[in-house]
Every structure is written in C-alpha cells, then in structure tokens.
Structure 1
C-alpha cells in the first residue's frame, strides 16, 4: 500500500481533522534543524577532545556517544529525504549534502529513492528495501531475531559503509564523499595534528560498525517487525516512551513511525505533537499500535517480536 493510498479520499473521511492537523504540522523550523545539526557535530568534537585528554580508557563511552550521534544524523538524513528540514528544497538538500550525507557515506538522491520505495511498497518482500526477512523460531526470545539481523553481513555493510558498497553509486558521488572526508580530516590535522585526524576517522568507523549498527538494527525492528502485513495501521508501530532508551534508540523522534507513515511531511521535531493530536481522534486511537516501552511491560515493543515475528518471514 502506498502513502498516497492512505492520504486518498477514502481515508480522509475517517480523519475529519486531517487537513487542520496536517497543515499546522508540516512547516519545518529550519532554526531548530540547524541547532540540532550543530549540537551533533559539536558534541562529537567534544567527545574526541575528551578522548584525546583522558586517554583510551574513555574510548568505550566515546564510541557509544559517537554512534548515537551518528544515528541522530541518520534520522536527520531521513527527514531530508522527505524534504522536511527546510521549506526551501534547495536549503533542505544543501544542509543534508554539506553536513550529513557524506559523513554517513550516503547519497541523498539514492536514499530518497530507496526510502520512497519503502513507503510505496510497505511490507512487500520483493519491493520494500527495508523489509526484514528472518526466519525466527516460534520459541525465540526477542533478542534472537535481533541478533539474526545484527549479524547479517548485508546489514552490517550497510551500517558501516552506507552506500559505498552499492554498485549504483556513481564515481562522481564516491569522489564527492572522498573529497568531503579529505577536507574534514585535513582541517583536523591542521588544527590538532595527523594523529588526531587518524584517531577521529578510526573512532568514527568503529562507532559505525558497532554502536551505530546495533542501534540501527534495533530501531528497524521497532518500526515494523512482528506486525501483520497488509496495511499501514497493521504493519507499523509508534514507540512513545519517556525512558532514556528513547534518546538512545530513537533520537530525533524517530520512534513515531506510524505517525510518520501516515503523514510523512511532518518534520521530526513536530511528530510528538502530531501524534498527540491524532490520538484525540477515536479512529486513530482505536487502530494505532502504540508501544510505551522498549523492553518491559505487556506493551513493550520487543514482546511483539517474540509472538508474531514469523509474520515478517519472506516468502
């Protein structure tokens, strides 16, 4: 089912306040976006300076922080693919291409194309590029499908090297990424020395291969895994939690995935408010799958991986 199907006339009648909610929520706050981008990069810089000062014993915490901020930047790239960073398409794409895209070894154009397929062919094993095809045992605990996806070579390559390993990436796009990294590492070397530049790149890649990959895997399972295929409401969940886990697993409000699929033009910084507005509509509240925890409680997201995980098995 495509996003346009959900926004068609048949579904609009079920949401009497759709237009009011949608138009009030679809205006990106570019200042908010810029502040978030600056925070991510400044905190990564601060983490590297702390590592340089305190030594290698602090490296586990530094890798964990950098991996979490990489996930935050990845979620901003997701919003850029929907043109939700700024009202101007040029500014939206410029922000992504200057501060996010090359750092994550991703092409915004390719990401936008693949993600559009995910929305258009949600849950289709043959056409949804984000479809998770695992074969869990009915007796599996939640961590077993998690590790099956985590240890899949294709998933690890994607997390670690972004689009670099894809043949569809052009040589000009690869050259652009190499040029961006050469400029960044050259600037670091000029200010702090070659050793600092090598250390930064090493920590960056280590974080992508470990913490970023683990968070990304868990987040992707949270989105759709363990739910019934056949429609947005049945196959997508919101994870609305106030715990610290939300900031680790879903920085930048990425856990409001059902709300996002219903209204993909809502910027990330307005998703929580949009979900509250939608929950006031009985038709949404009655059909939406909203988890309020990740690990504990009857409505924890991971519980559904155990009970219905087999529904995600590709034919």
Structure 2
C-alpha cells in the first residue's frame, strides 16, 4: 500500500532483517527504567483524576461536565501508562510493574494479564497473518475492500465506542466466575486474568454500593459517563494511527507501523505512543528514550505525520 500524501516514504528494500541489524547500532540508547519518573507520572494522573472526580460530584452542571471530561481523559491516559508497565519499563521491579499495571487498567476494565499476554504476541506476530491485538475494533487496520461507506461508518462507531472490548470483558468475567480458563491462554495466565476481572468487578460493586449509600448517582458521574463518553473514544483515537492502513503483512517495522511527531502535551498524554515505529523497533527501550531513537531513524520511517490533527485530516480526505 502506498504511503498517503504527506507521509515520508523510504525505499521498500528496507526489510525486517535490516531493522534487526539496525538495532545493534542503537544499543547506546538503552537505559534502565527510572522508577521515579514513572512515579511522577502516576502522581500527576492520580491528582488530575481526583480533580475530575471532585468536579463531577459538584451540584453545578458545568462542573460535572468538566469533571466527566477530565476524569475520562485520565482513564484513557492511565491505559497508556499501563502499556509501559506491560513491557516492565515503568519500574525495575516486575512486581511493581504488575501492581501498578493492574490498578491503571481498572477504570477502563482492562485486564493487565490479558493485555500483556496479547500485546507480547502482537509484537511477535506483527507483519504476519497471525497478528492479533488486545483491543479488537473489528476492522482493525482499515482494510476497506469492497464495503460500502455505510459499512465503514458502522465499523468506526464500533471502534470509537470500544463495544468489542466491553463484550470481551463481560465474557471473560463470566468465565472467571465459573472458574474456567480463558481461551488461548494457559492455566497460569488464565488465573491472573481471573484475578484482574474479580478486582474490576469489586471496584464496580464498590461504586454501586457508594451510590446506594449516598443516594447520589456517583457511579454514573465518576465512572460510567467518563468511561463511555470520553475514555473509550479517546483511547480509540490514540490507538487508531498505530498501524491503520499501513503494510501490516510486512515484517519491517518501518512499513507496518506509523509514527506521529506531535507536541509535548500529546506526547505526555499518549505516554510516547506517538513514537510507535520506534517502540516496535526497540520495544524494551524506556519510553522517555523514544524521541532520541526517533532522531536516529526518522529518515527511514515510511508512515509519518507531523501531528494527530494532520493524520486525521488526511484520513478524512481519503
């Protein structure tokens, strides 16, 4: 598939082996995870989430609307922070990565264990027909084929509502309650997935109990509305550019993945997800080192945009 207008093309001779060889020349970029950096990220996320919840519980409508938006945005941001823990890049301790990853996934009902298992396979299988991602949007990569505009539009409704994800969560919660293993996962991973689903269900139950005890719609304003109206579509927006309409049957990360060089605010909010080619090239590189890696490889990147707005404007024009 040709690069879209405005994207930087590199010779198609760049292949998976070349990328592997390139990694050997970039070892100088590797550093150990700095836990204090991620701790600051967690603290800021927690503070902004707390502010959002406080606003959402105010009796003034405009405060509640602002609170829903801020809380939902932080739910989506937490999912991006969780991605860092999947790779054990947040802390040096595997246990610390696991605990923080579990907590970060709770607002959006994202099982750390399920996400991690699927995501590691995604890194392994990207560029092959075996590739699957944890967040299933139906039309994952924009292969429109002969479908009508209406069918494509319905695909996007499913994508931005994240309906598949929540159906998947409910199905796995049912399996967990019945003590069953998760399809495609071994007994150990299935046990960890059941743990995550029980914790998420307990959190929802606690919010429900608080709603009943206070007589106010707490669960609606501080979780359900932020989740459905803000977090889900925002998370889908962040994820959409990663591989959408790239060469996803090509093993070369410069061809199957997209990078967006955006502003500092977007990089913070997406937790470096905009440097996605760089992440797939060196998935064990700490997130804060991705801009340095981008400087080294930017001329090789086939699918590139100068900002998220640039990507979506060009996408809508197609």
Common fold: TM-score over 0.5: yes
2:98 aligned partner = 93
2:255 aligned partner = 234
2:43 aligned partner = 38
Q: 1:203 aligns with which of 207, 222, 236?
A: 222
1:194 aligned partner = 214
2:121 aligned partner = 117
* 1:139 CA displacement: 10
What stretches of structure 1 of length at least 5 have no aligned partner? Answer: 1-5, 308-315
State TM-score, norm by structure 2: 0.73
Alpha-carbon distance between aligned partners in 2 of 1:123 and 1:292, rounded to the nearest angstrom: 24
Matched-pair contact (CA < 8 Å) for 2:105–2:111: yes
Q: Structure 1, residues 42-85: CA drift from partner, whole Å, max 9, x if none?
A: 21221222233351233332222112111110011111111111
* 1:237 CA displacement: 0.9
* Aligned length, in residue pairs: 281
* 1:228 CA displacement: 2.5
State TM-score, norm by structure 1: 0.74
Matches within 5 A, 1:148-159: 148-152=154-158, 156-158=162-164
Matches within 5 A, 1:283-298: 285-296=299-310
1:303 aligned partner = 314
1:272 aligned partner = 291
In structure 2, the CA distance between the partners of 1:210 and 1:247, relative to structure 1 (3 Å rule), is: farther
* 1:41 CA displacement: 2.0
C-alpha RMSD over aligned residues: 3.7
What stretches of structure 2 of length at least 5 have no aligned partner? Answer: 1-13, 178-193
Q: Structure 1, residues 136-180: CA drift from partner, whole Å, max 9, x if none?
A: 77997xxx95x5444127962245577334368523433332234
Q: Structure 1, residues 182-223: CA drift from partner, whole Å, max 9, x if none?
A: 55777x77xxx7246x42554312122121121122222211
Matched-pair contact (CA < 8 Å) for 1:134–1:148: no
Matched-pair contact (CA < 8 Å) for 1:76–1:252: yes
Matched-pair contact (CA < 8 Å) for 1:67–1:212: yes
Alpha-carbon distance between aligned partners in 2 of 1:32 and 1:210, rounded to the nearest angstrom: 30
Matches within 5 A, 1:22-37: 23-24=30-31, 27-37=32-42
